[in-house]
């Protein structure tokens, strides 16, 4: 038993020495300096700039409207009868040349009445010829010649010119003038049985068919000139004074697929009290344009002097832009004058100033940048 005791003591001492050596070794290793990591240098962002050049910036007003025909007539009948003839098929979309008969209403009854009235006038003049020959021989010849050339199937000629007061009283006393005017009235009425195309055009509406009974005052249809069109647009009252008759206007379809040139033909001086707008009319023509089409218009209203136009994306809080001075971004206050759809007209910059031409995410006042070579 005694022999094992020194051995245990020796083993215990060795263990203590091992633990102590390990502890001091760890302390020594921990006391060594750690190598310092070097931070990579910050890279300056590259920016695109534009040079400010102030000038006169045109302001255009966006408006829209519907195309209408400048030449349009609504066809109404002033007489009654059967619709018996038309130069073409009386249907919407059918074209007529100038002078073609749009509608011919049966006029047999009125034509017969006209002949009867003319015959009565002829008889009245013939009846006074003997008295004229004896009492007014100086005027007999012209009245006799009038009856010789009288034809009930031709247009009524004016009565011979009366130069004498006695002759005037004699003719009036025999009711010649009154009968002549009655005949002329029927003759004018007969003209209303035929409606002619006043210009090359097309029917857009028809409300009667051939063979139908037409009554006086009845609407028959609508006729337009498809080659003479205009666009009616509502313009804010504040811009009316800047518009001028004869000014050129850019027009385009809703999908922007086609562009046309128009001219302001007239401007209504009446302001709509409800909308505070006035109507401006733009003459336009071109292939593919039809009545009823919807068009947008760019109206040049006025010019803003000493201004510059930039993208609306470059604005910061609507009143600032980023200016680049010596590779540093500087937040600069400006004055927005007029906002367009995608751009804005501003004032407050000097000629030669460098500003961002493309927005820079994360940009801030004082940020260091480098300019891109454009």
213 and 243 assigned to the same domain: no
How confident is the model at residue 304, as a pLDDT?
A: 87
In this prediction, the residues of the chain whose per-residue pLDDT falls under 70 are: 1-15, 17-18, 20-42, 374
293 and 180 assigned to the same domain: no
How confident is the model at residue 7, as a pLDDT?
A: 66
Q: At what angle do helices 108-135 and 165-173 cross, to 10 degrees?
A: 130
pLDDT digits (tens, 9 = 90+) for 46-77: 889 999 999 999 888 888 899 999 999 999 99
How confident is the model at residue 63, as a pLDDT?
A: 87
Question: Is 4 a member of any domain?
Answer: no
- Domain containing 238 equals 61-68+226-303
Domains: count for the chain? 4
Domain boundary among 274, 303, 332: 303
CATH code, domain with 353: 2.40.420.20
Question: Is 12 a member of any domain?
Answer: no
144 and 251 assigned to the same domain: no
113 and 187 assigned to the same domain: yes
How confident is the model at residue 8, as a pLDDT?
A: 65
pLDDT digits (tens, 9 = 90+) for 306-316: 999 999 999 99
253 and 145 assigned to the same domain: no
CATH code, domain with 206: 2.40.50.100
């Amino acid at each position: 038993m005694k022999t094992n005791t020194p051995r245990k003591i020796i083993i215990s001492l060795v263990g203590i020495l091992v633990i102590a050596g390990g502890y001091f070794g760890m302390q020594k290793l921990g006391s060594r300096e750690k190598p310092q990591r070097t931070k990579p240098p910050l890279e300056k962002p590259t920016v695109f700039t534009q040079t400010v050049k102030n000038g006169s910036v045109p302001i255009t007003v966006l408006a829209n409207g519907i195309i209408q025909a400048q030449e349009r007539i609504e066809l109404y009948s002033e007489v009654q009868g059967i619709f018996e003839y038309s130069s073409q098929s009386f249907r919407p979309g059918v074209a007529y040349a100038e002078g073609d008969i749009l509608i011919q209403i049966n006029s047999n009854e009125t034509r017969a009445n006209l002949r009867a009235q003319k015959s009565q006038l002829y008889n009245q003049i013939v009846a006074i010829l003997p008295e004229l020959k004896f009492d007014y021989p100086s005027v007999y010849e012209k009245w006799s010649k009038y009856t010789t050339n009288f034809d009930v199937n031709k247009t009524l000629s004016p009565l011979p010119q009366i130069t004498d007061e006695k002759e005037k009283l004699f003719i009036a006393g025999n009711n010649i003038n009154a009968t002549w005017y009655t005949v002329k009235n029927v003759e004018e009425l007969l003209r209303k049985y035929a409606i002619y195309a006043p210009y090359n055009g097309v029917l857009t509406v028809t409300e009667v068919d051939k063979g139908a009974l037409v009554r006086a005052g009845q609407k028959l249809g609508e006729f337009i000139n498809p080659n003479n069109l205009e666009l009616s647009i509502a313009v804010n009252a504040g811009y009316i004074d800047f518009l001028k008759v004869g000014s050129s206007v850019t027009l385009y379809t809703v999908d922007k697929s086609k562009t046309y040139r128009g001219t302001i033909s007239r401007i209504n001086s009446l302001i709509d009290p409800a909308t505070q707008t006035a109507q401006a009319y733009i003459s336009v023509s071109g292939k593919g344009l039809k009545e009823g089409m919807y068009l947008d218009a760019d109206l040049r209203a006025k010019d803003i002097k000493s201004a510059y136009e930039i993208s609306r994306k470059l604005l910061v809080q609507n009143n600032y832009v980023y200016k680049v001075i010596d590779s540093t971004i500087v937040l600069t206050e400006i004055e927005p004058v007029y906002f367009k759809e995608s751009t804005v007209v501003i004032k407050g910059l000097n000629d030669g100033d460098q500003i961002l031409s493309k927005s820079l995410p994360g940009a801030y006042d004082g940020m260091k940048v480098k300019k891109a070579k454009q």
